[in-house]
């Protein structure tokens, strides 16, 4: 089922404020210097699940300061906002593809079973990594059982990042959730 069908498209927009405890648990697998996601607000509007996030990369975890957000940090930031959004969607029942999941299911599957199948990005203007914003959109999410095999969730998402000086980048990501309960 598509993300658009996860909630009634004509339902009023809903917003879920930042959940400090949930974010701390989502970021638990990350090394302290790689916890870039600082806050997130999840929303549902016209049937689309989104999250608007604040990030900070005070120091790159792998390279000297480049002076801008780079592809590795874009990917790490994407992972963190995606994990948070899925966890919040599970907690609040926002995506039909994850119906029946509990937060315990999410924690069990977070690292081994939520995979990036395709990742694309376009860098339009340099972004200040020390303070920037991001958004993720779940354009579709559906359960599949290819060839009668193990259940799989495929999600089509998009993301964008920006800063206060006009920096921006965006892209598209396909997720595959294997071993879906």
- DSSP helix/strand/coil, 168: strand
Beta sheet of 114-125, edge-to-edge order: 14-16, 37-45, 48-55, 132-144, 152-162, 168-177, 114-125
d(CA 106, CA 4): 21
12 Cβ contact list (under 8 Å, min separation 6): none
- Between 73 and 151, name the one with better pLDDT: 73
d(CA 3, CA 10): 14
Residue 8 DSSP one-character state = -
pLDDT given at position 9: 59
Kind and range of the H or E element at 125?
A: strand 114-125
d(CA 109, CA 100): 14
Q: pLDDT tens, 130-178? A: 999 999 999 999 999 888 778 899 999 999 999 999 999 999 999 999 9
Q: What is the mean pLDDT of residues 80-95?
A: 97
Residue 2 pLDDT class (50, 70, 90 cuts) = very low
Q: Which two tokens stand for residue 96?
A: 């039909």
Q: pLDDT tens, 17-62? A: 999 999 999 999 999 999 999 999 999 988 899 999 999 999 888 8
Give the burial string for 21-47 (b: 16+ CB within 10 Å, else e): ebbebbbeebeeebbbbeebebbbeee
- Best CA proximity match to 30, nearest among 70, 84, 68: 84
68 Cβ contact list (under 8 Å, min separation 6): 126, 127, 128, 129, 167
Ordered by where they begin, the domains of the chain are 3-177 (3.10.129.30)
């Amino acid at each position: 089922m598509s993300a658009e069908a996860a909630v009634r498209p004509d339902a009023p927009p809903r917003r879920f404020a930042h959940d400090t405890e949930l974010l701390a648990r989502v970021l638990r697998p990350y090394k302290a210097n790689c916890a870039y996601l600082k806050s997130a607000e999840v929303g549902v509007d016209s049937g689309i699940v989104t999250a608007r996030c604040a990030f900070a990369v005070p120091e790159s975890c792998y390279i000297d300061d480049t002076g801008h957000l780079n592809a590795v940090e874009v990917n790490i930031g994407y992972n963190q906002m995606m994990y948070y959004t899925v966890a919040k969607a599970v907690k609040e029942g926002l995506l039909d593809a994850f119906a029946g999941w509990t937060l315990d299911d999410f924690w069990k599957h977070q690292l081994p079973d939520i995979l990036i199948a395709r990742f694309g990005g376009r860098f339009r203007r340099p972004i200040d990594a020390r303070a920037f914003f991001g958004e993720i959109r779940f354009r579709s999410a559906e359960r599949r059982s290819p060839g009668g095999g193990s259940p799989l969730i495929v999600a089509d998402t998009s993301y964008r990042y920006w800063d206060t000086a006009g920096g921006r980048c965006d892209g598209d990501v396909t997720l595959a959730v294997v071993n879906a309960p």
